[in-house]
Amino acid sequence: MSLAGMKCLVTGAGGFLGQRIVCQLLEEEDGPAEVRALDKAISSEAVRNFQKVKTKSVLTIMQGDIRDAASVRMAVQGVSLVIHAACIIDILGLVDKQTLWDVNVQGTQLMLEICLCNDVQYFIYTSSLEVTGPNNRRDPIHNGDEDTVYESTNSLPYAKTKKEAEKSVLEMDGRPLKDGGTFVTCALRSMYIYGEGSHFLQRHVESAIGNNRVFFRMSVKEALVNPAYVGNVAWAHIQAAKAMTDPEKVKRIRGQFYYISDDTPHVSYSDLNYELAKELGFSVEPKLAMPLTVLYWYALLLEIISVLLQPFVRYVPSVSRQLLTLTNTPFTFSYRKAQRDFGYKPRYKWEEARKHTCQWIATLIPQGENSLKCKAT
């Protein structure tokens, strides 16, 4: 299995995950003939990271919006594989609902339609665990899989858009192409992604630095989740893409969704932050600032205030009931199906992922304030 000779397009290529997918495609020994990196804006740092990779593939950086048909048509021209990682991630309600829908749903549907018209054969969609849940009752899942039955009641607009977009992607599988072939699609539902460059992790670290290197606790210790390292989530996309070119494996993959995790220890979100930064002198609050039930009432009060202020000013609470549910529900999933169907195996072990992330966290600490170093694996 290889991607040799193919032209591949990665959307959201300037993002946290998209950058890693582009780099791993370029690193492939029998890699694509061309890798196209599409985003509304790609930072100069991202471009430098791409250019550092020794590759035989041609790298084409393209600026464009997935909501713009002309940009999408130009990007997919002659392409065999699309890895669609572009989306707006919003768990706090910072983005208005219409913009979320336009980008995450309509942008994905436009990509699919133009891919069909241009005989793009393979389409991999970067989905999210929030398509599944957790639900408002905080029903837990321990080591679940794709057959686990779960009643999802997630009311966050972000979760709804990812669920609708994933549905569109999987329903398109098997559609006939003009050249006589058939469209092949799948979706990868990743766990919470951590690693160097994570904006979410950076915010937590910067907040902890302002709190004498103590992470604020937003999740109880018992709320075990299984986050995944960004390098492993990117690697799952590469492995799925390779398997799509295999006549036998593609039969199992097409039209399917997969949970993507790795061997990161099962911990709460707050304790993950501590595990990644503890060698740099960070600690984490031992317990929540107040009982979880009280926090829910506090979040409800803030949401009511937000609604009352809506006619006058846009106020987005820093905590919501949905966020508390997300961070305080045990929710872990196995990657066995991905391993069975397309040979996914984490590329980076936990200690390696932890070390890389820890070294990046060290760069966020103001100069002169850190004498500790991350241990080698």
pLDDT at 82: 98
User: What span, in angstroms and rounded, lies between the C-alpha atoms of 281 and 194?
Assistant: 19
> Please, are residues 133 and 114 in contact by the beta-carbon 8 Å criterion?
no
- Indicate the class that CATH gives domain 7-198+229-262+333-348: alpha beta
pLDDT at 320: 87
Strand partners, 141: 331
125, 158, 274, 348: which is the annotated catalytic residue? 158
Residue 376 has pLDDT above 80, yes or no: no
Q: For the chain, which residues make up each domain, given as ranges?
A: 7-198+229-262+333-348
| DSSP symbols for 217-257 | P-S-TT--B--EEHHHHHHHHHHHHHHHTSTTHHHHHTTEE
Q: Decide if 259 is catalytic.
A: no
pLDDT at 35: 96
For the stretch 188-244, pLDDT in tens is: 999 999 999 999 999 999 999 999 999 999 999 999 999 999 999 999 999 999 999
Local structure of 189: helix, strand or coil = strand
Strands 141-144 and 331-333: parallel
pTM score of the predicted model: 0.95
Residue 377 has pLDDT above 60, yes or no: no
pLDDT band per the 50, 70, 90 thresholds, residue 371: low
What DSSP state is assigned to residue 113?
Answer: H
